[in-house]
Structure 1
């Protein structure tokens, strides 16, 4: 028996503290592909869609792919953007519902709109209104989703990534599709349970390369082999969303004995809670990081300094100047730094030619309270570019992106990558495509949170992380929360939870 499956990807990680709303244009600047064009662009790489396409080939599905759309993390998604993109998915489901056997979606799990805290739950509710309660729906989610009860009630199948850095998106999509296949065949009738703890996020942001998450993931994978268990997901949460259903949640997609499976999920959640004070990363000040850079001897590879707090991949503005200023003040040379998200300065640099010396006011323009104000600098233009590049690393290898108007400005001994569109550094090509070889530098300052490790740790002599005071600071208690339920850890550090 062959089935007809509707697929789509609609992805956004919303930082509600970012004052820049995510409109339809923000999606088109990152990517919006429809139908077969989406499959051509994303169906061969480490994406949920590639996993969906694997299933379509393996099981002989007739796959109707609606769209693949994502925007770089930023402020709340506008109603117009949600209605146009989510609405296209719902419209297609309505048009095809008589022939559909199932729906398979790649979502994030932390999208917030200007009218709804739980955008994924809202999308699923609209789909259910069209296709009814019996249509099997599977969703693949990011490891950092704030997974709500509504998502788990409206989707039969919930599967999240098990890696951070995320290198298993395709595998996640394939697993969700495999469970959907068994459901459509009538072999199983899955549903998903959820347990949760009152935390903003797992204390180490869900790192799976070191620390307690390694053992948790191993237990989850082992438990998936138990009878009646199809997927176990340990969702870290996303602390930069000021919403009610925030924080780490464990989900189990199962058929059968709910009490047993809930007890397993509670055990994992208890471990997350019990180890809430066991922070792995040492978040240095920018001055401390600069002093280490000043004393660093290159050896086997560069010193990588990651600014966790100005990570565009978590919705930070990407224009914090505090780390760059500290490196300049320390006299650091033979260095690279990026990105500095500053469309105004990029445009200014594009009015010049390579080799010109120019004076600029760089960065710090979105909200100087978070990470520092503009720097008055003079430098030499080393490169001017349209910003297009193709990734070749383990996370996004083979996928195409654009930084908008881009330039490299050499300030003293530091090559600064100035871009127009925010992006997290997680691939070597984000430097190499613009004439900077990070492996050949002594010091590389970059704006990223954990994802950079997949591509940059293999070339690094040493890796350190710092907090520049920008919008994705790991010290969440510094953020102006208003909507999260109280008490909640770590804002309320004395809170106790009974196991």
Structure 2
């Protein structure tokens, strides 16, 4: 008889410093696809559910996929949203309980609802109360997970991404699926151990394109070849979540049926965690001020390979507002022209522009409206509308290839020789189609500003003449001391000297 597996994805990275709430409407506007609808949308792209399905086909499972729920990183998840989506998963587990052989979940690991600090631990606790202590549960995590003791206590198997930019989601899903299959068949008896260090995050936020951090993941892969070691996951943590369990972790899923595997797993976890701690000062990025970045943009030679400027601190993928204006103001002041700025998340400005036509000249306040203390206030600018759109795009790069999303009502607003992509719905820059779909051609630019920390590199670095990183002082600034932490356990690096 085929093994029956319940699958689901419930993904959010919560910036606890961000105003507002990530509510149910936000999930519905971005991704809240049920059952077969989710499989049709994500079943053959670079997503965990695609990997789950790959593993299931190879093993001959019967799969019931409940939901794929994703929202752009943002404010804490509302209780209504959490209870609704978790309720879909738990209700399905309750219905399937008597014929279920395992559960496979795609989670993030840094979800913070407005009623607790550990969304994933809460979901897993609710599931365990339904299915009992023995049913195998496997979980995939984002590399930026805050993996808590509560999570480890409620599931046996954990597999995190090993790339940042994240390009291995599907393979991570396959890996977790293979481990779940072995557990369901009684071939292994998995458990997971955890090592943690008192840091807000790993020094390079888990970047796998710099030697110090890449070596950690190379070591993890090598350790996975050890008998009895099933998965080694390094989680860099998410510095924008002010929670008690903040900090990088190493998770080693091992086979209790193999003699000595538990001790080996513990040693491996602590060894890698020690290296993370020892390398805490080895930061690879050079963070430029807006004025420094603007000067480079002004002077950069246009030769078909633009200067890519990452507005690191205003990354919507870390829950920043995506409307910071400090860098745009500096570019205008410096007289940098022939570039583009993508995006400014400003639904009010987008609505104003959509009341006009392509070719119209408009004066309006742009950006900086949510919290001017982080990244600057609104700029009153005059410009020409170059493009109007519903914001729909389909990615074709390493991360978003084949996945369709929308920015909502979108405009390209040319001001002071800079094309500003003005959007209504949040999203960080992951894919070239996020600009090309709206008439912005990177090869024709002198510079391109992307609101992203690291993911932009997968799609944009290959076409760049040079990449630089700017700290605009927005909500995801690398200067962590600018954020008012109250929940993290102290002392913690880099807030404290330890």
Distance in 1 between the 2:312 and 2:338 partners? Answer: 22
SS in structure 2 at match of 1:198: coil
Distance in 2 between the 1:392 and 1:431 partners? Answer: 12
Alignment of 1:93-242 (within 5 A): 93-242=93-242
Partner of residue 381 from structure 2, selected from 373, 377, 380: 377
Map of 2:490 onto structure 1:
486
Q: CA RMSD in A?
A: 0.7
Map of 2:439 onto structure 1:
435
Tell me which moved more, 202-211 or 353-362.
202-211
Map of 2:450 onto structure 1:
446
Alignment of 1:288-299 (within 5 A): 288-299=292-303
* Cα displacement (A) at 1:442: 0.9
- The question of 1:399 aligning with 2:403 is answered yes
Distance in 2 between the 1:36 and 1:301 partners? Answer: 42
Deviation sequence 1:161-181 (CA, Å, 0-9, x none): 000000000000000000000
SS in structure 1 at match of 2:452: coil
Deviation sequence 1:443-477 (CA, Å, 0-9, x none): 10110010000000110000000100000001112
Map of 1:347 onto structure 2:
351
Work out whether residues 253 and 265 of structure 2, in 8 Å CA contact, stay in contact via their aligned partners in 1: no
Map of 1:331 onto structure 2:
335
Map of 1:477 onto structure 2:
481
Work out whether residues 343 and 422 of structure 2, in 8 Å CA contact, stay in contact via their aligned partners in 1: yes
Distance in 1 between the 2:64 and 2:297 partners? Answer: 52
Runs of 4+ with >2 A deviation: none
Work out whether residues 211 and 280 of structure 1, in 8 Å CA contact, stay in contact via their aligned partners in 2: no
Distance in 1 between the 2:167 and 2:189 partners? Answer: 29
Map of 2:465 onto structure 1:
461
Deviation sequence 1:362-399 (CA, Å, 0-9, x none): 00000000000000100000011111110111011000
Distance in 2 between the 1:464 and 1:306 partners? Answer: 6
* Cα displacement (A) at 1:300: 5.4
Distance in 1 between the 2:291 and 2:359 partners? Answer: 31
Using the size of structure 2 for normalisation, the TM-score is 0.98
Work out whether residues 391 and 397 of structure 1, in 8 Å CA contact, stay in contact via their aligned partners in 2: yes
Work out whether residues 73 and 319 of structure 2, in 8 Å CA contact, stay in contact via their aligned partners in 1: yes
Distance in 1 between the 2:400 and 2:156 partners? Answer: 28
Deviation sequence 1:419-461 (CA, Å, 0-9, x none): 0011101100000000101122111011001000000011000
SS in structure 2 at match of 1:98: helix
SS in structure 2 at match of 1:212: helix
Work out whether residues 286 and 323 of structure 1, in 8 Å CA contact, stay in contact via their aligned partners in 2: yes
- The question of 1:265 aligning with 2:269 is answered yes
SS in structure 2 at match of 1:97: helix
Distance in 1 between the 2:413 and 2:318 partners? Answer: 25
Map of 1:287 onto structure 2:
291
Map of 1:408 onto structure 2:
412
Map of 1:388 onto structure 2:
392
Distance in 2 between the 1:218 and 1:142 partners? Answer: 17
* Cα displacement (A) at 1:212: 1.1
Distance in 1 between the 2:312 and 2:135 partners? Answer: 41
Mind listing any 5+ residue stretches in structure 1 that lack a counterpart?
A: none
Work out whether residues 159 and 231 of structure 1, in 8 Å CA contact, stay in contact via their aligned partners in 2: yes
Distance in 2 between the 1:74 and 1:112 partners? Answer: 10
SS in structure 1 at match of 2:413: strand
